């Protein structure tokens, strides 16, 4: 796992711009604290920051492969999980290897397959490959966009990077937010429309897309999507196929030359990951698996049950660690620390995010990084298997909007009155909602329930899941820490996408089919546990601390945030402890408005 930067201009030489490249690359030091490298060409410059996970000696980047038909240079961020199979195919076709890293396999796969290489990859990746013979730059991003890749075009120069902060190091690129950016931030946020950012003229390569930059400009193309097909497997066949895909996805992602662990909350998803990982370690004769969980000071005293947080984790974690004999570590975070790191979390994202949902993960990764470099997590099972309450609630299904984009009137009122007159959040959300639903493929053979659930599954996979993937990447890589997400294996997602809803929600339960399959290898208490989201603090001192931080900013009438937001409305929220804000922010995740995570330091909202 790493970060990379670059720029290309095929009409004018840019070889003199090394200082710019180094400045961009240095901004990604958190993503790659172990090594750095550069490629300076006449028309393309590439920079790389490396986090060493595989083949310390052989994985240096940018990596160059010389061939009779030109040189090829790669800068890459990610992990290819079918490296072994690709390497075997390449060796059968005459390729030789100097090391065992996936970077070398990926580069030589491009030499072998050309632009079709994306159809042969299973992994999480973003990369750029420069072809000196064709004078062409190839950019690609993985199926679900686990790894980021941003870009902009200034005059004839394509500028690209793993994070927005690196883009802004290029001369002349401004941090400008226009009407669309405000609509994305306050209407869609903390999700975002695929391909966009909140900043004017700065974009991302969409998930499952590649780009070709040559003399004619930048051409973008989609190489994969979830395709609706009739599910013909019987119920027993479906269960067996799921077990195979789960085991294969998880064990593939356990390859590492550095210490590895799993995150364990005692929920169904993390327990499945941990079960397969612990079995793998035992089978390979490795030491017991290390597992990590997160908790907060005084959470046991302040926990209150709710529909979204029905129970705490500790009881279930204990069941799993005793069952699997893992070496467990419990990370406990205190309220002042959680609040103080809100600003770091936003810097890691380069834009407003998910408040303490972000900062807690950032702190979790920071603590685990002291002992490990890689972890597997159960993220995204809810999106793949239908685990959220909105899959079952009629009000969400009939809302005619994103089920998490609620409280629109209150969001609109958060805007400064002058801005609010020009921006209509509901209209923007309605447009994006209809635009997204138009992509859903419905089959004549689909039942009424499956048709309905395909739509909300599409929205969840392409919008909500991307928010969580962005969070996982930024909060982990801010600490030079790698998170792997086996449930995001595209083969698993392809298969589950077409399982009829009646089977997927077996017995009328969220993730009913996954629970049924897991009964073969998990304790009943874990299988029957009601879904519980990522743990958050229930300590009232946290909200008091954040309220105090925001009040300090609001006291300054000239604070830049007040040129964007409605100061009087925010003060009313603060004075009533959020009671004037009728509904929670962003669905289940935030029980109080946090101004989308941005009320922490006025210098970041100017």
Catalytic residue IDs:
2
Q: What is the number of other CB atoms lying within 10 angstroms of the CB of residue 525?
A: 13
Q: Which spans in 460-557 are helix H?
A: 465-477, 490-497, 501-504, 512-518, 524-527, 540-554
- The overall longest dimension of the chain from CA atoms, in Å, is 71
Please list, in sequence order, all residues whose beta carbon lies within 8 angstroms of the beta carbon of residue 418, skipping any fewer than 6 positions away.
none
How far separated are the first and last CA of the chain, in Å rounded? 32
| Contact indicator for 351, 470 with CB cutoff of 8 Å | no
**Cα–Cα dist 353/574, whole Å:** 20
DSSP code of residue 185: I
- Rounded to 10 deg, the angle between the 356-368 and 342-349 helix axes is 90
User: The tokens of 142 are what?
Assistant: 């993985």
CA 115, CA 119: separation in Å to the nearest integer? 9
In what helix (H) or strand (E) does residue 517 lie, and over which residues does it extend? helix 512-518
Strand ranges inside 270-326, DSSP E:
290-296
Distance CA 314, CA 308 (A): 17
Structure tokens at 344: 């770091």
- Nearest alpha carbon to residue 308 among 278, 267, 344: 267
Torsion angle in degrees (nearest 10) through CA of 382, 387, 393, 398: 40
Question: Are β-strands 157-161 and 209-214 bridged in parallel, bridged antiparallel, or unpaired?
Answer: unpaired
User: 63-67 and 44-50 as β-strands: parallel, antiparallel, unpaired?
Assistant: unpaired
């Amino acid at each position: 796992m790493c970060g990379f930067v670059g720029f290309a201009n095929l009409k004018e030489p840019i070889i003199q711009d090394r200082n710019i490249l180094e400045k961009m690359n240095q901004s990604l030091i958190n993503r790659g604290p172990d090594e750095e490298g550069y490629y300076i060409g006449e028309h393309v410059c590439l920079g790389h920051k490396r986090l060493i996970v595989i083949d310390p000696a052989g994985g240096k980047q940018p990596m160059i492969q010389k061939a009779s038909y030109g040189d090829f240079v790669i800068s890459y961020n990610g992990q290819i999980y079918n490296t072994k199979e690709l390497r075997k195919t390449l060796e059968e076709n005459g390729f030789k290897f100097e090391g065992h890293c996936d970077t070398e396999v990926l580069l030589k796969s491009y030499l072998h397959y050309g632009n079709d290489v994306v159809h042969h990859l299973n992994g999480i990746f973003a990369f750029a490959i420069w072809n000196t013979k064709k004078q062409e730059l190839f950019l690609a991003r993985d199926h679900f966009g686990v790894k980021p890749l941003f870009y902009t075009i200034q005059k004839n120069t394509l500028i690209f990077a793993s994070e927005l902060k690196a883009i802004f190091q290029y001369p002349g690129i401004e941090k400008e937010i226009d009407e669309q950016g405000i609509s994305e931030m306050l209407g869609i946020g903390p999700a975002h429309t695929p391909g966009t950012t909140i900043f004017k003229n700065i974009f991302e390569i969409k998930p499952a897309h590649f780009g070709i930059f040559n003399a004619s400009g930048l051409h973008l193309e989609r190489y994969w999507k979830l395709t609706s097909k009739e599910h013909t497997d019987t119920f027993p066949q479906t269960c067996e196929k799921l077990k195979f895909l789960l085991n294969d996805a998880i064990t593939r992602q356990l390859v590492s030359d550095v210490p590895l662990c799993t995150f364990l909350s005692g929920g169904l998803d993390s327990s499945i990951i941990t079960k397969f990982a612990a079995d793998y370690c035992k089978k390979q004769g490795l030491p017991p698996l290390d597992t990590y969980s997160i908790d907060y000071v005084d959470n046991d005293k302040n926990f209150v049950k709710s529909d979204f947080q029905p129970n705490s984790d500790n009881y279930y974690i204990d069941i799993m660690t005793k069952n699997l004999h893992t070496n467990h570590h419990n990370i406990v975070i205190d309220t002042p620390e959680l609040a103080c790191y809100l600003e770091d979390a936003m810097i890691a994202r380069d834009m407003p995010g998910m408040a303490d949902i972000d900062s807690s993960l950032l702190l979790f990764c920071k603590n685990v990084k002291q002992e490990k470099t890689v972890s597997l997590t159960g993220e995204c099972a809810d999106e793949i298997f239908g685990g959220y309450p909105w899959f079952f609630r009629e009000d969400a299904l009939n809302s005619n909007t994103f089920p998490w984009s609620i409280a629109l009137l209150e969001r609109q009122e958060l805007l400064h009155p002058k801005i609010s007159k020009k921006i209509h959040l509901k209209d923007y959300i309605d447009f994006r909602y209809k635009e997204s639903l138009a992509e859903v493929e419905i089959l004549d053979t689909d039942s009424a329930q499956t048709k309905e659930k395909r739509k909300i599954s599409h929205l969840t996979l392409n919008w909500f899941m991307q928010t969580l993937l962005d969070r996982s990447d930024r909060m982990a890589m801010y600490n030079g820490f790698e998170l792997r997400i086996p449930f995001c294996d595209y083969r698993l997602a392809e298969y589950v996408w077409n399982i009829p809803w009646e089977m997927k929600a077996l017995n009328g339960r969220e993730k009913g089919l996954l629970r049924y399959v897991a009964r073969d290898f998990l304790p009943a208490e874990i299988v029957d546990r009601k879904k519980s989201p990522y743990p958050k603090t229930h300590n009232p001192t946290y909200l008091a601390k954040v309220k105090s931080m925001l009040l300090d900013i609001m006291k300054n009438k000239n604070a830049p945030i007040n040129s964007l937001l409605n100061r009087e409305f925010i003060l009313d929220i603060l004075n009533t402890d959020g009671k004037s804000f009728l509904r929670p922010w962003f669905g289940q995740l935030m029980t109080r408005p946090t101004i989308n995570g941005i009320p922490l330091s006025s210098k970041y909202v100017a």
